[in-house]
Amino acid sequence: MRSLAVFTKLRGDEVSGCDAVLSDLDFFKKYQINVYTGDVSAYIKDADVVVYSSAISEKDVNFLFAKLLGKKLVSRGEFLGEIASSYDKVIAVAGAHGKTTTTALIYNILKDKNPTLHLGGVLKEEGSCFVYGDKEFFITEACEYHDNFLYLKPYIGVITNIEKEHLDYFKTFENELASFDKYRKNCKFVVEGDGGFEIKNIHHKDMKLCFDIYKGEEKVMSLKMNICEEVNVNNALFAYRACKILGCSDNDIKNGLESFKGVKRRFEEVVSLYIKEVIVDYAHHPTEIKGTITTAKKLFEKVVFVFQPHTYSRTKELLDDFINVFSKEKDVVIFKTFPARETEKDGVSGETLAKKIGCLYFEDVKNLVNYLKEKYSSYAVVFMGAGDLPKLLEEEKFIKTY
């Protein structure tokens, strides 16, 4: 949402916003965007258009007030589609996992062409979730929640993978698959599957991910990347294939992939005064968690995994998968659920998940920190989840990002 706010401001509109919790106020101040919390009816009265996130309940008082006044209400997905439509070529990345990194990799390859970027994470090098560039390329994530990705008309549409996700909206996996079929039809070119390529010789060297890309018997290129999670071999291949459609040379693609510094909270190494090694990762789906665990166990001799579930409905829908992936590990801790748009009655809590796994559960970050200091100071600690735990850990001065 904040990227869209800045895009709108930079094209000449007056912009203000509201959120449940105020954060990044210095960021908004830089662009002269006022952000409020609570009752913002006075600002809604003056608005020509009200853009809302799918995370906002239709029972939200500000949403209801805007509706009562007959304001033009536009969803985030629809508004993103409107902005994207003013660019010559839209490159959109959809899928259950890998969207953010794949989108960022494509941007890094095309960086010399001054593309515009709309990202669901923060680039380490730029320190931003967006780049306002020229009008030729618009590179964005394409989120399937509430069918938001169907507002996009991509020149290139990437589908990294499809798994059961957002079933609070789709209800069935079949409905989700049908939406992805519609997304494919909106794209001029679609990049998915392996495309006849093969990844070989995957290994790590100095926390860097090394591998070779082959097409048949021919080696296309060898890569040594600054990101170390093994799932990124697939993300890199998607980025390679998308950029080949755009006419990029193998040399430019290799340089773009190898110079990529990564995205915050994607297997990000952070500093702690109390723990030997600390990793913060966005993994919140069982498949993502499994990949993070696999990489961590290859890199570290002793490791403990701390997971914060993201939404009660996801935990309920994928409960057996969560239990399966965590029950195989000796050292696991569960932190209280990040509810996002939900309440506990919408699904299964983190406490219930911990009981099913048979591991410790914490609701208070101070107690969690003290426990980790006492028992795991000589371990690598991997924090996983899409919630607010990293922010809470920073507030406790337990971790500090670079």
For residues 115, 118, 120, 122, the Cα torsion angle rounded to the nearest 10 degrees is 60
Q: What is the pLDDT of residue 157?
A: 98
- Residue 356, Cβ neighbours under 10 Å: how many? 16
pLDDT over 90, % of the chain: 78
- Per-residue pLDDT reduced to its tens digit, 343-367: 898 899 999 999 999 999 999 999 9
Distance CA 212, CA 338 (A): 38
| Exposed e or buried b per residue across 169-188, where buried means at least 16 C-beta atoms within 10 angstroms of its C-beta | ebeeeeebeebbeebeebbe
pLDDT, block means (10 residues), the chain with 402 residues? 89 90 82 90 91 86 93 94 96 94 97 95 87 95 94 98 89 95 98 96 92 96 93 96 98 97 90 92 93 93 96 94 95 95 89 96 97 95 95 93 64
Distance CA 244, CA 251 (A): 11
Tokens of 104: 């960022």
pTM above the 0.75 mark? yes
| CA neighbor of 221 nearest in space, from 195, 252, 181, 246 | 252
- Per-residue pLDDT reduced to its tens digit, 177-192: 999 999 999 999 999 9
- Residue 215, Cβ neighbours under 10 Å: how many? 11
| CA neighbor of 310 nearest in space, from 388, 391, 386 | 386
- Per-residue pLDDT reduced to its tens digit, 199-213: 999 999 988 999 999
Q: State the amino acid at position 7 in one-letter form.
A: F
- The length of the chain in residues reads 402
Q: What is the pLDDT of residue 314?
A: 92
Distance CA 289, CA 243 (A): 28
Distance CA 165, CA 176 (A): 8
